[in-house]
Chains A and B, each alone.
Chain A
Amino acid sequence: MNIFDNLLMGFGVALSWEALLYCFIGVTLGTFIGVLPGLGPMVTIGMLLPITYYLDPTSAIIMLAGIYYGSQYGNSTASILLNLPGTSAGAVTCLDGHPLALQGRAGSALFMTTIASFFGSCFGIIVLASLAPVLANFALQFGPTEYFALMLLGLIAAAILVRDSLVRGLVSVLLGLLLGLVGTDIYSGSPRFTFGFLKLSDGIGLVPIATGVFGVALIMANAGRHVVNGSTEKLGWRSMMPGPGDVRRSILPMFRGASIGSILGMLPGAGPTISTFIAYATEKKIARDPSRFGRGAIEGVAAPEASNNAASQTGFVPTLTLGVPGDPVMAVMLGALMIHGVPPGPMLLVDHAPLFWGLVASFFIGNLLLLILNIPLIGLWVQLLKVPYGLLYPMIISFVCIGVYSINNSVFDVGLVMAFGLFGYMMLLLSIEPAPMLLGFILAPMIEENFRRSLILSRGDFMTFVETPISGGLIALSALLLGWIIISDFYPKKTQVPNQDAGKENSGGQD
């Protein structure tokens, strides 16, 4: 079967009424939470995970994925209009998007971001559809040493790309690894870090950690604090039409942004947020007049938007074909698949072909829906931003409690969410980014199992990790990455990166 037959089969799945409905729900909800500062895809997916138990796996994953890429559309709206990024991937869009809005060109900026987002997504989907089968074949040669090396690379990349501080990133990853070890050791059966709680012997669930650290912690930080909502102008159809110069100037940046996003999306640990920074820096570097950036250059909006959307599509490549998630949201998605009894990995494309190709086809449909939905709805999103936070967060807390409780009918899980909320709030106060921790948490059992299995197979010979070309190469890459970042930390030089003043008042950066 070639790619077109596969896609045809996928559209057969994705065009069923049920799939269309859940795709629609997913992308609408995604746009909504992308617009709202402080509520990221992470929190929403965490909250909806329990509800997806009642759906079939394909609908569930289509809806969850819709939330993820839908939020990438939504976050540009709040960034441009209010200078408040809805999610961390929107922070870069603030830099040039908000100045455009101040110049009275908000409409055309929003229009261009929607077009750029759509273009980036389609680019990413094509990369996903063409590369996933190739990578899946390649992944069949992966043994435990290769998996170990790949996950090591992912963890190091996650730690350093947070980029606030290498040490703090590593602390976050290590804390995550530690949390991932809670439970029963798979080889010996001895309980570890259970503190005498029988409930902990199965390990900590993904949902309590994700909802606690990302959702509840932010609410704890923001509750009772006044979130200033800016006043917004009326947006008519006429003001949305971009001028011919805007379109012409955006074509190449969109293309470059989408390419950068597609590549970075596939690397473990990188993901949409990082890709927006790199896309922006690239545009600024190659521009004839870099001083225009930061004052409302349309390229500075189009390129990052194209790149974060492309990255959120290609992020599915390692998640689905290797079973190794690239970023925390992907990690939750992986968890969702496993909950539904669909093991991600190279065999997914063979054993669950309708699911995979249905998902890819639903990406096309979802993005088309987003394109149609977004432009008329921009005015509505703006209104929604005016709902006071004080009325919103008590509802979110109620949803979190019910959602988590209903997974196992266990109040213990609600207590865990609260504990992780406090923990996450503390991390926020101590400037430790929580995202690498979640990746560490997800990968901990896998990385330990593969490490130990490799040594059992090699009879205790550590050389096994560098002997095969794939794992040796990955380990070398990890070492280079770590070395490069340490050196660049200690021998700093002026680099062309955006000085991010935008959106500092918003603590909803870590979704």
Chain B
Amino acid sequence: MNFSNVDRKPRFYKGLSARDWITISLVAGCGVYSMWEGLSLDPGSVRRIGAGAFPFAIGALLSIMAIFLGLAGSPANSADQPKISIRGPVHISAAMIAFMILINPLGLAPTIAIVTILSASADRSLKLRSILLLALFASSLCTVVFVFLLGLPLQPFWW
């Protein structure tokens, strides 16, 4: 939410950053893909609209929006757009993938310990000891709350 841009003048085609071009091409890509998917489905008739009409229409609107994005230029808050961080997404994704792979063979408690270690290691300021303590705490808390208190059908351990 940024209200400071209310009195800005409209800019045309000025200062499109690399990030804006990525936005535009992704939006256009989604639009074109959706139109293509729409065309491969039955468009139906006006009296009985088919499955393809909505995907096509939304895709067309998205493609038009991609053009407008180019015309509108960079967003007003482009100066304070967040910096790209690789650490966060990689560690969090790794933790969630570990959960997907390990939950069935290993059971809840060891899985949560591993998930916690993987995600906590995104934060460089945490020492190994506090990460391990956190992992122990998280896995016992989750086991007690979800298995014993809420009775979810999850195995705490693999045996």
Residues of A within 8 A of B (CB): 51, 54, 88, 91, 162-165, 167-168, 170-171, 174-175, 177-178, 181, 185, 187-188, 190, 192-193, 216, 219-226, 273, 277, 388-391, 393-395, 397-399, 401-402, 405-406, 409, 411, 414-415, 417-418, 421-422, 425-426, 428-432, 448, 451-452, 455-456, 459-460, 462, 489-490, 492-495, 497-501, 504, 507, 509
The smallest beta-carbon distance between B140 and chain A, in angstroms, is 11
Known: A220-B89, A492-B7. 7 other contacts (CB 8 A): A174-B65, A181-B54, A411-B101, A430-B22, A462-B46, A490-B10, A504-B80
Q: A178 CA to B16 CA in the complex, in Å?
A: 26
Binding site of A, secondary structure by majority: helix, strand, loop or mixed? helix
The smallest beta-carbon distance between B15 and chain A, in angstroms, is 14
Mark interface residues in B85-123 (1 if CB within 8 Å of A CB, else 0): 101110111011101110110001000100110011011
Q: A498 CA to B47 CA in the complex, in Å?
A: 49
- Tell me which residues across on chain B come within 8 A of A390, comparing CB atoms: 120, 123, 125-126
The smallest beta-carbon distance between B95 and chain A, in angstroms, is 6
CB-based nearest A residue for B154 = A406
Q: How many residues of B contact A (CB 8 A)?
A: 83
The 14 listed contacts between A and B (C-beta, < 8 Å) are A167-B65, A170-B65, A171-B69, A174-B58, A188-B42, A216-B96, A223-B88, A277-B3, A395-B116, A398-B112, A428-B82, A455-B47, A490-B10, A507-B82
B138 touches A489 (CB 8 A): no
B6 touches A495 (CB 8 A): yes
A414 touches B65 (CB 8 A): no
B42 touches A221 (CB 8 A): no
A401 touches B82 (CB 8 A): no
- Tell me which residues across on chain B come within 8 A of A462, comparing CB atoms: 46
- Tell me which residues across on chain B come within 8 A of A489, comparing CB atoms: 10
Q: A490 CA to B10 CA in the complex, in Å?
A: 6
B49 within 8 A of A: yes
Q: A361 CA to B9 CA in the complex, in Å?
A: 49
Q: A426 CA to B150 CA in the complex, in Å?
A: 35
Q: A489 CA to B52 CA in the complex, in Å?
A: 34
- Tell me which residues across on chain B come within 8 A of A164, comparing CB atoms: 1-2, 5, 75-77
The smallest beta-carbon distance between A49 and chain B, in angstroms, is 13
Q: A431 CA to B37 CA in the complex, in Å?
A: 27
Binding site of B, secondary structure by majority: helix, strand, loop or mixed? helix
- Tell me which residues across on chain B come within 8 A of A225, comparing CB atoms: 85, 88
- Tell me which residues across on chain A come within 8 A of B80, comparing CB atoms: 504
B51 touches A185 (CB 8 A): yes
A405-B99, A489-B10 known; A219+B152 contact, CB < 8 A: no
B95 touches A397 (CB 8 A): yes
- Tell me which residues across on chain B come within 8 A of A459, comparing CB atoms: 47
A495 touches B7 (CB 8 A): yes
The smallest beta-carbon distance between B31 and chain A, in angstroms, is 8
Mark interface residues in B44-77 (1 if CB within 8 Å of A CB, else 0): 0111111100110011011001001100100111
A418 touches B61 (CB 8 A): no
The smallest beta-carbon distance between A186 and chain B, in angstroms, is 9
- Tell me which residues across on chain B come within 8 A of A393, comparing CB atoms: 119-120
The smallest beta-carbon distance between B18 and chain A, in angstroms, is 11
Q: A456 CA to B91 CA in the complex, in Å?
A: 50
B115 touches A394 (CB 8 A): yes
> Of residues A164, A192, A402, A494, which shows the largest number of chain B Cβ atoms within 10 Å of its Cβ?
A402
A422-B89, A425-B89, A431-B81 known; A414+B146 contact, CB < 8 A: no
A451 touches B49 (CB 8 A): yes
- Tell me which residues across on chain A come within 8 A of B120, comparing CB atoms: 390-391, 393-394
Q: Which listed residue (B3, B41, B62, B152) contacts A497, Cβ 8 A?
A: B3
B6 touches A497 (CB 8 A): yes
Q: Which listed residue (A429, A456, A499) contacts B82, Cβ 8 A?
A: A429
CB-based nearest A residue for B10 = A490
* Top 3 closest pairs, chain A to chain B, by CB: A460-B47, A390-B123, A460-B46
CB-based nearest A residue for B139 = A398
Q: A185 CA to B51 CA in the complex, in Å?
A: 6
Of residues 1 through 53 on chain B, the ones whose CB sits less than 8 Å from some CB of chain A are 1-10, 19, 22-23, 26-27, 30, 34, 37, 41-42, 45-51
A165-B76, A398-B116, A492-B7 known; A178+B150 contact, CB < 8 A: no
A418 touches B49 (CB 8 A): no
- Tell me which residues across on chain B come within 8 A of A219, comparing CB atoms: 88, 92, 119
CB-based nearest A residue for B6 = A495
CB-based nearest A residue for B9 = A492
The smallest beta-carbon distance between B135 and chain A, in angstroms, is 8
The smallest beta-carbon distance between A258 and chain B, in angstroms, is 21
A221-B88, A495-B7 known; A414+B58 contact, CB < 8 A: no
The smallest beta-carbon distance between B48 and chain A, in angstroms, is 6
B62 touches A187 (CB 8 A): no
Q: A44 CA to B69 CA in the complex, in Å?
A: 33
A224 touches B88 (CB 8 A): yes
B130 touches A391 (CB 8 A): yes
B65 touches A401 (CB 8 A): no
Q: Which listed residue (B1, B50, B154) contacts A91, Cβ 8 A?
A: B1
- Tell me which residues across on chain B come within 8 A of A492, comparing CB atoms: 6-10
B23 touches A430 (CB 8 A): yes
- Tell me which residues across on chain A come within 8 A of B116, comparing CB atoms: 394-395, 397-398
CB-based nearest B residue for A454 = B49
Q: A271 CA to B126 CA in the complex, in Å?
A: 39
Q: A221 CA to B89 CA in the complex, in Å?
A: 7
Q: Which listed residue (A190, A223, A405, A409) contacts B119, Cβ 8 A?
A: A223
A402 touches B146 (CB 8 A): yes
- Tell me which residues across on chain A come within 8 A of B92, comparing CB atoms: 216, 219-220, 223, 397, 418, 421
B134 touches A391 (CB 8 A): yes
CB-based nearest B residue for A461 = B46
- Tell me which residues across on chain A come within 8 A of B76, comparing CB atoms: 164-165
- Tell me which residues across on chain A come within 8 A of B49, comparing CB atoms: 451-452, 455
- Tell me which residues across on chain B come within 8 A of A415, comparing CB atoms: 96-97, 100
